[in-house]
Amino acid sequence: MSEKLSFVSPTANSPWGTYLSQVDRVVPYLGPLARWVETLKRPKRALIVDVPIEMDDGRIAHYEGYRVQHNMSRGPGKGGVRFHPDVTLEEVMALSAWMTIKTAAVNLPYGGAKGGIRVDPKKLSQNELEKITRRYTSEIGIIIGPHTDIPAPDVNTNGQIMAWMMDTYSMNTGGTATGVVTGKPLHLGGSLGRVKATGRGVFVTGREAARRLGLDLRGARIAVQGFGNVGSVAAELFAEAGAKIVAVQDHTGTIVNSNGLDLATLIPIANKDGVIAFKGGDVVPNEAFWDTACDILIPAALEGQITAERAQKTTAKLVLEGANGPTVPTADDILAERGVLVVPDVICNAGGVTVSYFEWVQDFSSFFWDEDEINVRLDRIMMNALNQIWDTADKHKITLRTATYAVACERILMARQERGLYP
Ligand code: NAD
């Protein structure tokens, strides 16, 4: 009955194609709610904006930006903003859809949204970065707001960028709207625990998955792709629990050390110059990362990294998806056939949006919690969600990913059905 979306042509392994195939796999478990499933296959709203700025050398440069609100059946849109040269409308659509699934999987009162600008921020001065952030915020200001759509950090965006976004929105609306973005600095209504929340969620879900697999974290060998906010924090927490980080890859290259990399020295160096500037490991070709001997693999960079070929050669018994959409559907099938357990992105990396939710609640009540309270609540939400998903997976004998989609899609489509179609 429905027309195909005219503005995307997804391939099987593209982010939107991956998402659509994940939704198709859940349909048999939706019962009568399946009649609503098309609502998950198209974004509610997608905005493309021109972002012109004057560069430091006087040139006028134009960038393309997006904000996609995939689904708001359960609450305001929620999702990060990515600054990266590969950002496209299709990628942002997929990322926004994964946010819809994720917020429902951990039962937060949000829908899903995402934004981005196609730009390499490493080539911008601080002044240019501020200008591009403010103009982009102003352009998407017609659809974001504390009660409609609340952005947050993602790849290459951070607390400073959230502070500029909050200030720009506030200047345009005539107040101080701290609740318009999350991931803000602490003194601007940010929350304790937010910076480490995503990595912490990866650790909490990974520790539980390892326990269920009978995999001892002490001495477990871990390979981490992407060593930014998510990857480095997760690595630190696993190392504290006794694991060895044997391989790390970022945009500069790959380093390995079978005795375990010294994270206290590596992290500040990686933050400044990238992992290959670190001398405590061997630099190897990027493709060698995927067959490094390891027990746990943590993709924490970009989408589409675990291809069928890489899924075939990994030695990991457990994959913890810190990144969004790192595994293409064919690779998912190979990992399942090979008995490799995958904790999917939509639960594994949900710690960030969970503490973003705490931040938003604290902003509205103007009452701030201590870090212990944040972490206790975060761990409880993540564990409850994971246990429920695990029960669903056991009941239907399906993967954790399909089980997460089953739990989440039921919540989303039930909300859609109860609200009814307008008009
Ligand atoms: P970040 O910008 O802090 O770090 C990204 C890392 O990926 C960097 O180490 C970068 O060098 C590396 N990278 C980039 N391109 C690469 C490539 N081609 N090959 C290998 N490494 C590459 O970003 P982040 O916030 O840590 O986000 C990482 C992933 O986690 C993304 O998929 C993001 O959507 C997801 N995520 C982030 C959050 C969050 O709270 N920050 C929450 C949920 C999911």
DSSP letter string over 137-195? HHHHTTT-BTTTEEEEE-TT--HHHHHHHHHHHHHHHTS--GGG-SS--GGGT--TTHH
Q: Give me ligand 1 centre to Cα 175, in Å.
A: 33
What residues does 77 pair with on adjacent strands?
A: 149
Task: Taking residues 366-389, report their average pLDDT.
Answer: 97
- For the chain, what is the mean pLDDT? 97
346-355 per-position pLDDT tens digit: 999 999 999 9
Ramachandran area for residue 325 (φ above 0: left; ψ -120 to 50: alpha; else beta) = left
* Count of beta carbons in the 10 Å neighbourhood of residue 257: 17
The structural domains of the chain, ordered by start, are 43-176 (3.40.50.10860), 197-348 (3.40.50.720)
Helices (H) and strands (E) in the chain, counts: 13, 12
187-205 per-position pLDDT tens digit: 999 999 999 999 999 999 9
Which residues lie with the beta carbon below 6 Å from any ligand 1 atom? 153-156, 198, 225-231, 249-251, 300-302, 322-324, 349, 352
Nearest CA to 353 out of 75, 72, 79 is that of 79
pTM of the complete model: 0.97
Helix 15-26 vs helix 329-337: crossing angle, to nearest 10 = 50
CB 33 within 8 A of CB 417: yes
What sign results for the dihedral spanned by CA atoms 151, 196, 266, 299?
negative
71's enclosing H/E stretch is strand 60-71
* Count of beta carbons in the 10 Å neighbourhood of residue 370: 10
Q: Give me ligand 1 centre to Cα 300, in Å.
A: 5
